[in-house]
């Protein structure tokens, strides 16, 4: 897809309000690795652990070189990562680069971060084994799939790992606006009582790159972690946490670009969290129960699916991990 085609496609999706649709709607699912049945999310076998060790060692060494040569990528705000003091967290990032998963690993640590993504990205054969060794957590479509994913996230965050989500869901290459967020990442942060670490990818045009007609330089900014609200129901805390993170990333974008970056739909509905109150969504609270839409119809900014992208219904608890 050429740059012209890409811009045209983005404009079409913007007009239709389809912010969570990929540029290419035809996903290659025919060679996806089945994740039902006996699929295990985390490496347990000695061969899997060995494969993970050598692969991530290579990623740690080569990864920064790849992203630097491809886009001049640099990381800003590592002090906010250090502020976690080794504790587990959920991270979220705008989904705007084909290599943004590698960029996130460079920023947060190749051994520490695990990335979530649609199940069909996990392929059969060596490709699937390499993806899994690199820390890929597939998001399935069944209750059983989501239960195993939830257990894996709980285990990882307890071990001090960071699980990364792309709450915009779809990849829009080099898109400089912030699209509506889905709730799955914030649901898990509330579920396991861990902070959310926002990451914001910026595209900056430098004099040198403009002179040589190169693509804009990439910066990934690690923002201060956002803590889970202490009061309210799980659904309310999920909503408010997502709004706070969206506001933080939006404000960072304004500082970097000098203009509002929230898409129109997101801007209308993702009001600053401090303007919203807890308690009103409680059944019978002051006789004014807030009607919360089902999870598959709710996002920060637009009525769409959330849970990364299916099956987790916000407010509907999965069985507790053993």
In this structure, the number of other CB atoms found within 10 A of the CB of residue 138 comes to 22
pLDDT (tens, 9 = 90+) of the chain, 322 residues, equals 678 888 899 999 999 999 999 877 666 677 888 888 788 999 889 999 999 999 999 999 999 999 999 999 999 999 999 999 999 999 999 999 999 999 999 999 999 999 999 998 899 999 899 999 999 999 988 899 999 999 999 999 999 999 999 999 999 999 999 999 999 999 999 999 999 999 999 999 999 888 888 999 999 999 999 999 999 999 999 999 999 999 999 999 999 999 999 986 665 445 443 433 333 333 333 333 333 333 333 455 443 334 344 334 333 444 444 3
pLDDT of residue 285: 37
What confidence score (pLDDT) does residue 93 get?
Answer: 98
- Arithmetic mean of pLDDT over the chain: 84
* CB-count exposure of residue 157 (10 Å: 0-12, 13-18, 19+): buried
What pLDDT is recorded for position 30?
77
Q: For residue 142, give both structure tokens.
A: 């069944």
Q: Which CATH architecture has domain 44-274+293-297?
A: 3-Layer(aba) Sandwich (3.40)
> What three-state secondary structure class fits 285?
helix
Question: What's the pLDDT at 26?
Answer: 64
Residue 196's pLDDT is 98
CB-based burial label for 302 (10 Å; 0-12, 13-18, 19+): buried
Largest Cα–Cα separation, the chain: 64
Q: What is the pLDDT of residue 265?
A: 63
pTM above 0.85, yes or no: no
Q: pLDDT digits over 274-291, tens only?
A: 433 333 333 333 333 333
Contacts 24+ apart (CB under 8 A), 40-45: 41/137, 41/138, 41/148, 41/149, 41/151, 41/152, 42/152, 42/155, 42/156, 43/132, 43/133
| Per-residue pLDDT at 27 | 65
pLDDT of residue 263: 84
What pLDDT, on the 0 to 100 scale, is given for residue 58?
96
Predicted confidence at residue 4, as pLDDT, reads: 85
Backbone angles phi, psi at 195, to 5 degrees: -75, 165
Residue 202 bridge partners (DSSP): 219
CA-CA distance, 199 to 166, in Å (whole number)? 10
The pLDDT value given to residue 266: 65
Using CA atoms of 143, 148, 151, 157 in order, give the dihedral in degrees to the nearest 10: -110
Q: Which of 6, 1, 12 is nearest to 175 (CA)?
A: 6
Two tokens, residue 156: 């990882």
The CA distance from 162 to 91, in Å, is: 7
Q: Which residues of 88-125 are buried (b: 16+ CB within 10 A; e: fewer)?
A: bbbbbbbbbbebbbbbbbbbbebebbbbbbbbbbbbee
């Amino acid at each position: 897809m050429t740059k012209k085609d890409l811009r045209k496609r983005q404009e079409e999706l913007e007009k239709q309000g389809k912010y969570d649709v990929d540029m290419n709607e035809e996903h290659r699912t025919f060679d996806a690795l089945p994740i039902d049945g006996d699929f295990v999310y985390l490496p347990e076998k000695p061969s899997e652990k060995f494969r993970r060790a050598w692969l991530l060692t290579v990623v740690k060494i080569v990864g920064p070189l790849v992203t630097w040569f491809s886009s001049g990528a640099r990381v800003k705000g590592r002090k906010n990562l250090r502020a976690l003091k080794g504790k587990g967290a959920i991270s979220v990032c705008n989904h705007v680069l084909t290599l943004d998963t590698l960029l996130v690993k460079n920023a947060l640590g190749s051994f520490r971060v695990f990335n979530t993504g649609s199940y069909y990205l996990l392929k059969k054969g060596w490709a699937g084994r390499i993806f899994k060794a690199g820390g890929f957590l597939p998001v399935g479509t069944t209750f059983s799939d989501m239960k195993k994913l939830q257990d894996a996230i709980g285990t990882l965050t307890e071990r001090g790992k960071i699980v990364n989500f792309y709450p915009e869901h779809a990849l829009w290459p080099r898109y400089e606006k912030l699209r509506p967020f889905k709730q799955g990442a914030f649901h898990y942060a509330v579920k396991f009582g861990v902070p959310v670490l926002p990451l914001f990818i910026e595209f900056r045009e430098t004099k040198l790159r403009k002179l040589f007609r190169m693509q804009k330089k990439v910066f990934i900014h690690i923002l201060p972690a956002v803590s889970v609200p202490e009061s309210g129901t799980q659904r309310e805390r999920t909503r408010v946490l997502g709004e706070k993170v969206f506001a933080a990333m939006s404000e960072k974008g304004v500082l970097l670009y000098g203009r509002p970056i929230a898409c129109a739909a997101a801007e209308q509905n993702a009001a600053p969290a401090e303007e919203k109150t807890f308690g009103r969504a409680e059944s019978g609270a002051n006789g004014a129960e807030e009607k919360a839409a089902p999870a598959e119809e709710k996002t920060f900014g637009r009525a769409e699916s959330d849970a990364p992208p299916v099956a987790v219904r916000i407010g509907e608890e999965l069985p507790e991990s053993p």
